Amino acid sequence: MKNRIKEYRTRLNITQEELARSAGVRRETIVFLEHGKYNPSLQLAHNVAETLGTTIDELFQFERKKR
Amino acid sequence: MSLKHFQAVKLGIVVALGLIASSSIVRQNYIWPIMAMAVATLVLVLLRGKVKGVIADERDYEIGGKATRWAIQLFGWFSAVMMFVLYAQRAVNPSYETIASVLAYSVCFLLIVYSLLFRYYEKIVFFKDKTRAPGVSGPDSTM
């Protein structure tokens, strides 16, 4: 799953620490999120999207897995 | 209280607990470590409420869940193997049988507690959360 968290965060000039505090998680979680190494819960995805002033759809690009 | 301060205090408490436990074993006083553990737990719970930062988030809980499952599986396998080895060697030393029994019962106890808690969180807590949600009807109306 790709995401545009870093792009939005740098555009808004928000640090990882500030984003983490606003979303209610630790800074490390934001680091893992930005690198696409952690799939957030719907609640966290919503919190991050809300903090960055966008939507979950805009922020996360889901890739369809082959079944 | 900041997160770093809390972690420093937690480390200090763990060191103090270790000192108390080791000194009480030397003095053969087993009341002190139990009391110290109770006090330490109480202090940590009280301090935890005063920390302003996030101590653990959903990622920590996810990792914790995976680590716990692996730890239980490894402990189960290790104990089962050791139990049979010790039972087989009980002729060498009769106390091996007691150790094997303790291992067997501790694995059983751990698995029972895990199963009960799993069932509790899966069925009861999940169901309560579902019924609390607005617009979701209770158990009687769905059946």
d(CA A47, CA A5): 12
Model confidence at B129, pLDDT cuts 50, 70, 90, reads: low
Average pLDDT, chain A: 91
Answer whether residue B135 shows pLDDT above 80.
no
Q: What is the pLDDT of residues B47-95, one digit of tens each?
A: 888 888 788 889 999 999 999 999 999 999 999 999 999 999 989 999 9
Q: Where is pLDDT greater, at B5 or B106?
A: B106
Chain A CB contacts of B54 under 8 Å are 20-21, 24-26
Residues 6+ apart with CB under 8 A from A22: A47, A51
C-alpha distances in Å from residue A41, one per residue of A29, A44, B12, B29, B75: 12, 5, 34, 48, 30
Residues A40, B57: C-beta atoms closer than 8 Å:
no
Residue range A15-28: average pLDDT? 92
**What is the Cα–Cα distance from A4 to A10, expressed in whole angstroms?**
10
- pLDDT for res B136: 42
Min Cα distance A12 → chain B (Å) is 23
Contacts of A32 in chain B (CB under 8 A): 59
Average pLDDT over residues B128-134: 57
Q: Across all residues in chain B, what is the average pLDDT?
A: 85
Q: For the residues of B54-115, what is the DSSP string, one character each?
A: -S--HHHHHHHHHHHHHHHHHHHHHHHHHHHHHHHTTTT-THHHHHHHHHHHHHHHHHHHHH
- Cα–Cα distance between A14 and A52 in angstroms, integer? 9
Q: In the prediction, which pLDDT does A14 show? A: 94
The larger pLDDT score, comparing residue B51 to residue A65, is at B51
The pTM is what? 0.72
CA-nearest residue to A33 within chain B is: B59
Phi, psi (degrees; rounded to nearest 5) at A40: -75, 165
- What is the chain B residue with the closest CA to A42? B58
Closest of B47, B81, B52, B68 to residue B111, by C-alpha: B68
What span, in angstroms and rounded, lies between the C-alpha atoms of B141 and B135? 12
Q: How far apart are CA B104 and CA B93, in angstroms?
A: 18
**Percentages of chain A per state (helix, strand, coil), in multiples of 5:** 55, 5, 40
